[in-house]
């Protein structure tokens, strides 16, 4: 089994354990369930410059521990102050050290910004969980789901008021999975089987994603040059975790990147 297969096998067990503990009707009674969600797609579509989706990520299968010294409520508020367009908070415990507790701390500290529940969605029960913790958006990973599952899960997500980020890594996944139930297309620069990252993946796939979709580039992003290059290929948003989380002050790392982006835009006289 490769790591992705292991993650999905464990996730399916976890979902059946959770279903036995808490029913959907119990989730529907949680505080945030009826909260009005906020659209990340709209914010990205309307933006005239590249925008950052900042991730709270404690560890990962590719890098092990990234940062276990920081608090989600502080980091995410700092991200918002530094201009993040949306937040992404890992809720997978076993492989990423995330939790609902982290997510709820981020949600309570930041009421006015869209937050992605970053996890491996394999069952519609998890959409109800996402709603209950105050998520605005969920992730569907084409490498983990059939095209039929993507349609069913994304329709159900929309019924619940959640936006759908579809993650693809190659042309086959894109051709098989893209449909009108998708709000944002994310091209993952990381190969989830080998963990290699290459921004060429985003460049290659950019041409194949119709302009009607908001597109973002994910993983392995570190600097303003790369972001501006990808922006010129039509990417409006950039999902960044490790580059920020490696530092003692992830919010300051985002603020520094935003400064670099502004400077590079001015120096290159780009019309952004």
Ligand X SMILES: O=C(O)c1ccccc1NCC(=O)[C@H](O)[C@H](O)COP(=O)(O)O
Please give the residue ranges that form the binding site for ligand X (CB under 6 A): 3, 55, 57, 60-62, 188, 192, 195, 218-221, 239-243
- Specify the residue, 27 or 202, whose C-beta has the smaller distance to ligand X: 202
Listing DSSP states for the chain in one string gives: --HHHHHHHHHHHHHHHHHHHS-HHHHTTSTTTTPPP--HHHHHHH-SS-EEEEEE-SEETTTEES--S--HHHHHHHHHHTT-SEEEEE--STTT---HHHHHHHHHH-TTS-EEEES---STHHHHHHHHHT-SEEEEEGGGS-HHHHHHHHHHHHHTT-EEEEEE-SHHHHHHH--TT-SEEEEESB-TTT--B-THHHHHHHTTS-TTSEEEEESS---HHHHHHHHTTT--EEEE-HHHHTSS-HHHHHHHHHHHHHHHHHHTT---
- Specify the residue, 78 or 218, whose C-beta has the smaller distance to ligand X: 218
- Specify the residue, 134 or 250, whose C-beta has the smaller distance to ligand X: 250
**At its nearest, how many Å lie between ligand X and the CB of residue 21?**
25
- Specify the residue, 102 or 218, whose C-beta has the smaller distance to ligand X: 218
- Specify the residue, 226 or 243, whose C-beta has the smaller distance to ligand X: 243
**Contacts of residue 64, Cβ cutoff 8 Å, sequence gap at least 6:** none
**At its nearest, how many Å lie between ligand X and the CB of residue 220?**
5
**At its nearest, how many Å lie between ligand X and the CB of residue 153?**
17
Question: Is the separation of the CB atoms in 66 and 59 below 8 Å?
Answer: yes
**At its nearest, how many Å lie between ligand X and the CB of residue 127?**
19
Question: Is the separation of the CB atoms in 186 and 165 below 8 Å?
Answer: yes
- Rounded to whole angstroms, how far apart are CA atoms 162 and 111? 16
- Specify the residue, 136 or 242, whose C-beta has the smaller distance to ligand X: 242
**At its nearest, how many Å lie between ligand X and the CB of residue 33?**
26
**At its nearest, how many Å lie between ligand X and the CB of residue 70?**
14
**At its nearest, how many Å lie between ligand X and the CB of residue 188?**
6
- Specify the residue, 60 or 177, whose C-beta has the smaller distance to ligand X: 60
């Amino acid at each position: 089994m490769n790591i992705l297969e292991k993650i999905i096998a464990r996730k399916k067990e976890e979902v059946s354990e959770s279903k036995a503990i808490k029913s959907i009707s119990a989730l529907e009674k949680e505080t945030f369930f009826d909260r009005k969600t906020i659209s990340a797609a709209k914010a990205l579509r309307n933006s005239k410059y590249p925008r950052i989706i900042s991730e709270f990520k404690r560890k990962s299968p590719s890098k092990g521990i990234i940062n276990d010294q920081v608090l989600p409520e502080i980091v995410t508020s700092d991200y918002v102050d530094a201009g993040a367009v949306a937040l992404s908070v890992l809720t997978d415990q076993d492989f990423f050290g995330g939790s609902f507790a982290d997510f709820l701390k981020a949600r309570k500290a930041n009421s006015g910004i869209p937050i992605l529940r970053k996890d491996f969605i394999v069952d519609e029960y998890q959409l109800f969980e996402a709603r209950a913790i105050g998520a605005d958006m969920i992730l569907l990973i084409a490498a983990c789901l059939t095209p039929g599952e993507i349609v069913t899960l994304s329709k159900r997500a929309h019924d619940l008021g959640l936006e759908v980020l579809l993650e693809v890594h190659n042309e086959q996944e894109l051709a098989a999975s893209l449909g009108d139930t998708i709000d944002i297309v994310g091209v993952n620069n990381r190969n989830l089987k080998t963990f290699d990252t290459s921004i060429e993946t985003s460049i290659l796939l950019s041409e194949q994603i119709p302009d009607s979709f908001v597109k973002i580039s994910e993983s392995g992003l570190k600097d303003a040059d790369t972001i501006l290059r990808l922006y010129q290929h039509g990417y409006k948003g950039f999902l960044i975790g490790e580059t920020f989380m490696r530092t003692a002050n992830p919010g300051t790392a985002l603020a520094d990147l935003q400064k670099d982006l502004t400077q590079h835009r001015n120096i290159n006289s780009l019309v952004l």
